[in-house]
């Protein structure tokens, strides 16, 4: 293929994919501004290059691209080196660095079970002094679960208590106290077969249970796990945990909306046949959402995890780690079915609907373990 043919092919692909007039694509025009690209659209560019030209675009590559001519030069240079071919968010989870520090010291000095006992008093404090979180949980109990007022009060207490327990468990297990816990696995061999398939894997979970706690129990697999986490949350907790020697084998990909670094870190991890984990029930970018019927009502979900899961041609696993008595974690793995674009539905929407069906099933069994502290459903 000549250079002119490569440029013509690039222009045709970009015009079709991003629905722009091909006449506005000029060599000296700024690529990002002309196509109105953001970090999620950038995933499409990465996928398009891989599918049509047979090489992977890295973050270092894209940092050098300003104009369409820069993009042409990259594709031309890389295609000449190899044969022709044979993808968002900032935020914080409830419980910051002080909570981690407090429970770290509590466990160190009085033990796990004593920390559980003290936790009950902390919960009583949190209910009135965390009004937004309490309000959202109350409405979840009353409107989504349709519980009575009395039962809603009980769920509210259990919800905060389970959140505290998962925090304590995360610290205890990270500190080497795994012998105090029991573990059960569902579809584990099928899950391991996927991990052994010599390709990257996307794992989708949520703010339910304690799915991050599973990484230490995957043995050597744990070293290949990358958890996508909002940068604000990651930086605060990372420093606190490192100071107290509660390390972990998995890696973290911090998301920062001011840069596109995380997009390339995700695709590069998958290209190394590693595993990338997302939590699919939380968003911060209201411009990039998907909608689905969840617990009988319309709700918004982040488009990023489902766009990646449907576009990057790797296996997808829905994974949840739910706490049970006594001090037991039940790991649940479901392999997602492949999705494809149809006339009526985009592949990311089909992936979201599979996720929602699995999430609802888990939520009905463990309604008190969804740690969602904001208004989730559309009004």
Is residue 174 a part of any domain in this protein?
yes
CATH value at residue 32: 1.10.1200.10
- The residue that leads in pLDDT, 80 or 251, is 251
At 97, the pLDDT band (50, 70, 90 cuts) reads low
Same domain flag for 57 and 141: no
77, 93, 245 from 375: Cα distances, Å: 49, 14, 35
Q: What value does the mean pLDDT take over residues 263-276?
A: 90
Same domain flag for 73 and 102: no
H helices of 175-302, in order, are: 188-195, 231-243, 261-271
Task: Indicate if the pLDDT at residue 242 is higher than 70.
Answer: no
Is residue 91 a part of any domain in this protein?
no
Q: What value does the mean pLDDT take over residues 170-185?
A: 84
Is residue 377 a part of any domain in this protein?
no
Among the ranges given (123-132, 139-148, 265-274), the one the predictor scored with the smallest mean pLDDT: 123-132
Same domain flag for 58 and 185: no
pTM of the model: 0.74
Residue positions counted in the chain: 379
Is residue 182 a part of any domain in this protein?
yes
- Bridge-partner residues for 279, per DSSP? 205
pLDDT for 98: 56
Same domain flag for 294 and 351: yes
At 245, the pLDDT band (50, 70, 90 cuts) reads very low
Which of 45, 79, 113 finishes a domain? 79
Same domain flag for 277 and 345: yes
Residue-range definition of the domain harbouring residue 341: 97-369
Nearest one of 276, 281, 270, 354 to 313, comparing CA atoms: 270
pLDDT for 87: 29
At 213, the pLDDT band (50, 70, 90 cuts) reads confident
Same domain flag for 20 and 141: no
pLDDT for 90: 36
At 108, the pLDDT band (50, 70, 90 cuts) reads confident
Same domain flag for 65 and 101: no
At 347, the pLDDT band (50, 70, 90 cuts) reads very high
Among the ranges given (43-57, 149-163, 195-209, 352-366), the one the predictor scored with the smallest mean pLDDT: 43-57
Is residue 378 a part of any domain in this protein?
no
Q: What value does the mean pLDDT take over residues 274-302?
A: 87
H helices of 25-140, in order, are: 31-35, 39-53, 59-63, 68-79, 97-110, 112-129, 131-139
pLDDT for 360: 96
Which of 79, 111, 134 finishes a domain? 79
275-279 and 201-205 strand pairing:
parallel
Same domain flag for 38 and 109: no
Residue 276 CA to chain centroid, in angstroms?
8
pLDDT for 104: 75
Which of 99-108, 243-252, 346-355 ranks highest by mean pLDDT?
346-355
Same domain flag for 249 and 275: yes
Query: Mean pLDDT over all residues of the chain?
Result: 82
Same domain flag for 131 and 211: yes
Cβ contact 281:267 at 8 Å: no
At 243, the pLDDT band (50, 70, 90 cuts) reads low
Is residue 87 a part of any domain in this protein?
no
Is residue 133 a part of any domain in this protein?
yes
Same domain flag for 65 and 210: no
Task: Indicate if the pLDDT at residue 346 is higher than 50.
Answer: yes
pLDDT for 367: 96
* Total count of domains within the chain: 2
Is residue 176 a part of any domain in this protein?
yes
Same domain flag for 37 and 180: no
User: Strands, DSSP E only, in 87-208?
Assistant: 182-186, 201-205
Among residues of the chain, what percentage have pLDDT more than 70?
82
């Amino acid at each position: 293929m000549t250079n002119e043919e490569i440029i013509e092919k690039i222009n045709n692909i970009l015009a079709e994919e991003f629905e722009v007039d091909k006449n506005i694509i000029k060599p000296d025009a700024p690529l990002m501004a002309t196509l109105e690209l953001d970090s999620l659209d950038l995933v499409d560019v990465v996928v398009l290059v891989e599918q049509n030209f047979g090489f992977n675009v890295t973050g270092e590559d894209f940092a050098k691209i300003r104009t369409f001519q820069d993009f042409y030069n990259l594709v031309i240079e890389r295609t000449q080196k190899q044969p022709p071919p044979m993808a968002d968010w900032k935020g914080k989870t409830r419980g910051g660095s002080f909570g981690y520090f407090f429970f770290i010291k509590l466990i160190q000095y009085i033990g796990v079970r004593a920390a559980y006992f003290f936790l009950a008093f902390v919960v009583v404090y949190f209910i009135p002094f965390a009004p937004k979180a309490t309000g959202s949980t109350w409405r979840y109990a009353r409107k989504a679960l349709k519980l009575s007022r009395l039962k809603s009060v009980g769920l509210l207490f259990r919800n905060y208590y389970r959140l505290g327990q998962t925090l304590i468990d995360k610290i205890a297990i990270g500190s080497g106290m795994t012998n105090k816990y029991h573990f059960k696995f569902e579809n584990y061999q099928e899950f391991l077969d996927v991990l052994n398939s010599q390709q990257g894997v996307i794992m989708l979970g949520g703010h339910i249970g304690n799915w991050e706690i599973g990484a230490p129990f995957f043995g050597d697999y744990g070293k290949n796990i990358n958890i996508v986490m909002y940068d604000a949350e990651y930086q605060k907790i990372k420093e606190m945990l490192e100071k107290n020697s509660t390390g972990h084998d998995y890696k973290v990909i911090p998301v920062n909306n001011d840069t596109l670094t995380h997009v390339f870190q995700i695709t590069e991890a998958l290209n190394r046949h590693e595993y990338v984990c997302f939590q699919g029930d939380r968003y911060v970018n209201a411009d990039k959402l998907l909608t689905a019927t969840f617990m009988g009502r319309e709700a918004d979900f982040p488009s990023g995890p489902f766009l990646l899961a449907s576009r990057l041609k790797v296996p997808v696993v829905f994974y949840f780690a739910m706490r049970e008595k006594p001090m037991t974690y039940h790991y649940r793995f479901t392999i997602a079915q492949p999705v494809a674009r149809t006339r009526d539905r985009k592949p990311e929407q089909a992936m979201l609907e599979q996720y929602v069906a699995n999430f609802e099933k888990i939520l009905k069994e463990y309604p008190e373990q969804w740690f969602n502290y904001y208004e989730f459903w559309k009004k």
